[in-house]
Amino acid sequence: MVTRTNDSEPNIVRRVALPVAVLAGLVGLARLSLRLVKEPEGPGDVLASVYDLVGQGASADAIRDRGLQTIPSVALTILTALILGIIGIWYLFWALNALVDALPQRVRESVRPYVYLLPAVSLLGFFLVFPAVWTVWLSFTEDRGWRNYLDAFQEADSRRALVNNVIWLIVATAGSVSIGLVIAQLFDRIKREALAKTFIFLPLAISMVGASVIWRFVYWWKPPGTGQIGVVNAVITKFDAEPVAVFQTVPINTLALIAIMIWLQTGFAMVILSAAIKGVPTEHLEAARLDGASELQVFTRVILPSIRPSIITVTTTIAVAVLKVFDIVYVLTGGKFQTDVIANRMYKEMFIFSNKGRASSLAVLLFLMVVPVMVLNLRSARRQEAMR
Amino acid sequence: MVLPRFLKRTPLHVAVIVIVALWSLPTTGLLISSFRPQNDVVTSGWWTVVEHPFEGSNWTIKNYSRVLESDGLWRALANSVVVTLPATIIPITIAAFAAYAFAWMKFPGRRMLFGGVVMLLVVPIQMTLVPLLRMYSGLNLSGTYVGTWLAHATFGLPLAVYLLYNYISSLPSEIMESAYLDGASHYDIFRRLVLPLSAPALASFAIFQFLWVWNDLLVSLVFLGTDSEVATLTATLNELVGSKGEKWHILTAGAFVSMAVPVGVFLGMQRFFVRGMLAGSVKG
């Protein structure tokens, strides 16, 4: 461990000057990296100035004349980004901590906690709390004021989005949790459990955009008689039925989108519930079986009640993700054919129609839907912790 | 006696195989199609390859060189790396310092501040978009990596602080106290003791945040945009769906390029991922 040196005067100067220099350097680096991405010539310019600095005027001019080839320019951007984003953040803390050490001994330790919290609290305050409050304000002041909320319920398109969000909430959540539960219970009895689970689990690593492309291919429609290339319509036409244009057919399209969400989220439910099932004491199961309970009764009367807390956690976690669903709808239908959801509606109001007030009121409605679910979730998480 | 038991378990095995097959079918179709020639992909179903699986003319890697080069996926891949790495490291570092302060330093307002941070878990990203975009254009941050890192870092912070606090506060207090009595400063304790001991928690949050940022579409659309100089893989793939929606040889290969890194990371670090999930994780 490091031993402290005593606070002699020249020492303090050195200890203040170095951290201040590091902080200044970080600010400079941040501005540099802004320039790198702002201007197309940015990387070349920066490299040319570096060459000038080290006295290689000829190389600098060469770059200014011909511009940088794409690959070095991309590499330079990546490098600056990584230095700034990864090493920079450490030096930020190092410098802040060193500045605290330079303070008089009495106040040092009462200031230090706040300095450690400063980056977190200022980011959250500046980029989360302040904008969120502003959004509430905008929702009541721009466009039609408080009537934005009235519109959200009365205007056909946004009412459709609200209704769809409720359908998503119920079907996608119930679907993922119940299928996840069945799979957890089934896979619990086989030898290669871990391997089998990996297959169910894998979609969790896939982006919703990627999943949308995958399923767009599954649902793909071609005119009748041309040889279907999507699995779903290939099966349908095998039974001599007409191929279905999945995304354009009204009740089916929302359900087809929901199926994608279930495919993505079931793995999450399975992992948590499987761990919970394994945590049920074997004696309880044995005792029930000795009493003559069937396997189904063991499941409904012993296993289900004892994994209830995990079911609540899984359900609420998935419900929050489902409520905020955006990518799937945005990529596949853009909310057309009555498939809109709140998050996509909000995006449209904001970027296509530039209705800041209406967009804000939809965001607030989404927030109000998420809050009760999250409160349930956090409460059950805390209760589980208390039991541990 | 072996046979009856085996027979009794057959329905179970069949059920498991059917479920696994059903779950893998969509991705398998995509993977196979991405290696088929342009014409084959749109004229015959990918399952028809089983008829002649070893015929060389049925397979090609051209689709990949096409999407990577002419459709700009190399650049998008680089952009995703530039966005994702700092957007993962920055919130972890910031949250680890904050979690340490909340767990092991005494100061007025500690409980209130921590409660406030946890409460922010309930705020959806959508609540910040309109004003943040306005602030960003004032600060010249829109369309920049830095602006995107800050947005991602902030959105990941509440969960990071919450998870890391749960872990760091449960470390044995004797170790901290004896180090402190030996004259170690908070900074030393944090760096030499707390960080190494919290490696499992840091790793599982890192994987979450990595997957979250890499797979995100909304934040990258709003703050970075679709300009090919900066657009991430997800944004670029979404553009391809719009512009080349029927060219399945391109879309399938493109989707696979966007999935390769997260799926690789995920399979390699599944253990940490599962541990993190069991520790409870929801994101605002």
Domain ranges of chain A: 9-141, 150-387
What tens digit of pLDDT does each residue of A321-342 get?
999 999 999 999 999 999 999 9
Residues of B in contact with A229 (CB under 8 A): 41-46, 248
| Stated pTM of the model | 0.89
The tokens 């009537």 sit on which residue? A147
CA distance A330 to A332: 6
Mean pLDDT (chain B, rounded) = 89
C-alpha distances (whole Å) from A180 to each of A99, A247, A274 are: 52, 26, 9
Q: In the prediction, which pLDDT does A386 show?
A: 65
Name the residue type at position B77. Answer: L
Q: In the prediction, which pLDDT does B49 show?
A: 86
Q: In the prediction, which pLDDT does A41 show?
A: 58
Please indicate if any CB of chain A lies within 8 Å of the CB of B219.
Answer: no
A 77-116 residues with CB < 8 A to B = 77-78, 81-82, 84-86, 89-90, 93, 97, 101, 110, 112-114, 116
Question: Where is mean pLDDT largest: A7-11, B161-165, B244-248?
Answer: B161-165
DSSP label at B245? Answer: T
How many angstroms separate the CA of residue A34 from the nearest CA in chain B? Answer: 7
Token code pair at residue A131: 């904008």
A 21-40 residues with CB < 8 A to B = 30, 33-34, 37-38, 40
A-B contacts at Cβ under 8 angstroms: 318
Contacts of A14 (CB under 8 A, 6+ apart): none
B97 has a pLDDT exceeding 50? yes
With pLDDT > 70 as the criterion, what percentage of chain B qualifies? 96
Q: In the prediction, which pLDDT does A257 show?
A: 97
Give the one of A134, A205, A216 whose C-beta lies nearest to B262's C-beta: A205
Q: In the prediction, which pLDDT does A26 show?
A: 81
C-alpha distances (whole Å) from B31 to each of B27, B28, B49, B233, B265 are: 6, 5, 12, 18, 18
Give the range among A202-216, B49-63, B196-210 with minimum mean pLDDT: B49-63
**Residue of chain B nearest A382, judged by CA positions:** B280
The tokens 């074997």 sit on which residue? A282
Burial class (CB in 10 A: 0-12, 13-18, 19+), B116: middle
Q: In the prediction, which pLDDT does A385 show?
A: 66
Q: In the prediction, which pLDDT does B160 show?
A: 94
**Which residue from B258, B75, B223, B228 is spatially nearest to B145, judged by alpha carbons?**
B223
Q: In the prediction, which pLDDT does A20 show?
A: 85
User: Into which CATH architecture does domain A150-387 fall?
Assistant: Orthogonal Bundle (1.10)
Q: What is the 3-state secondary structure (H, E, C) of chain A?
A: CCCCCCCCHHHHHHHHHHHHHHHHHHHHHHHHHHHHHHCCCHHHHHHHHHHHHCCCHHHHHHHHHHCCCHHHHHHHHHHHHHHHHHHHHHHHHHHHHHHHHCCCHHHHHHHHHHHHHHHHHHHHHHHHHHHHHHHHHHHHHCCCCCHHHHHHHHCHHHHHHHHHHHHHHHHHHHHHHHHHHHHHHHHCCCCCHHHHHHHHHHHHHCCHHHHHHHHHHHCCCCCCCCCCCCHHHHHHHHCCCCCCCHHHCHHHHHHHHHHHHHHHHHHHHHHHHHHHHHCCCHHHHHHHHHCCCCHHHHHHHHHHHHCHHHHHHHHHHHHHHHHCCCHHHHHHCCCCCCCCCHHHHHHHHHHCCCCHHHHHHHHHHHHHHHHHHHHHHHHHHHHHHHHC
How many angstroms separate the CA of residue B16 from the nearest CA in chain A? Answer: 7
The mean pLDDT of B220-235, rounded to a whole number, is: 90
**Residue of chain B nearest A366, judged by CA positions:** B124
Give the one of A70, A117, A371 whose C-beta lies nearest to B101's C-beta: A117
Long-range pairs of B174-182 with CB within 8 A, sequence gap ≥ 24 = B176/B104, B179/A1, B182/A1
CA distance B33 to A202: 19
CA distance A364 to A158: 14
B 112-131 residues with CB < 8 A to A = 113, 117-118, 120-131
Please indicate if any CB of chain B lies within 8 Å of the CB of A120.
Answer: yes
CA distance A51 to A61: 9
Task: Kindly give the interhelix angle for A193-201 and A156-187, rounded to the nearest 10 degrees.
Answer: 170
Q: In the prediction, which pLDDT does B5 show?
A: 67
Token code pair at residue A18: 């170095």
Q: In the prediction, which pLDDT does A73 show?
A: 67
Please indicate if any CB of chain B lies within 8 Å of the CB of A127.
Answer: yes
Q: In the prediction, which pLDDT does B145 show?
A: 84
Give the one of B124, B186, B263 whose C-beta lies nearest to A205's C-beta: B263
What tens digit of pLDDT does each residue of B14-27 get?
999 999 999 999 99
* C-alpha B202, offset from chain centre: 14
In total, chain B counts a number of residues equal to: 284
CA distance B248 to A66: 38
Rounded to 5 degrees, φ, ψ at A313 are -60, -50
Cα angle, residue A349 at apex, residues A348 and A353 outer, rounded to 5°: 95
**Which residue from A312, A354, A362 is spatially nearest to A157, judged by alpha carbons?**
A362
Q: In the prediction, which pLDDT does A35 show?
A: 64
CA distance A291 to A69: 77
How many CB atoms lie under 10 A from the CB of residue A47? 18
CATH T-level topology, domain B72-278: MetI-like fold (1.10.3720)
Please indicate if any CB of chain A lies within 8 Å of the CB of B244.
Answer: no
CA distance B256 to B133: 31
| B20 with A370: Cβ contact below 8 A | no
**Residues of chain A with confidence (pLDDT) below 50:** 1-5, 7
The mean pLDDT of B60-71, rounded to a whole number, is: 89
| B237 with A213: Cβ contact below 8 A | yes
Q: In the prediction, which pLDDT does A387 show?
A: 60
* Tally of CA atoms within 13 A in the half-sphere of B279 that contains its CB: 23
Residues of B in contact with A77 (CB under 8 A): 82, 145
The answer to whether residues A238 and A148 touch, using CB atoms and an 8 Å cutoff, is no
The answer to whether residues A48 and A39 touch, using CB atoms and an 8 Å cutoff, is no
Q: How confident is the model at residue B218 (pLDDT cuts 50, 70, 90)?
A: very high
**Domain boundaries defined on chain B:** 2-60, 72-278
| A190 with B13: Cβ contact below 8 A | yes
The tokens 């020249």 sit on which residue? A10
Residues of B in contact with A82 (CB under 8 A): 82, 85-86
CA distance B83 to B77: 10
Burial class (CB in 10 A: 0-12, 13-18, 19+), B52: exposed
* C-alpha A331, offset from chain centre: 16
| B29 with A381: Cβ contact below 8 A | no
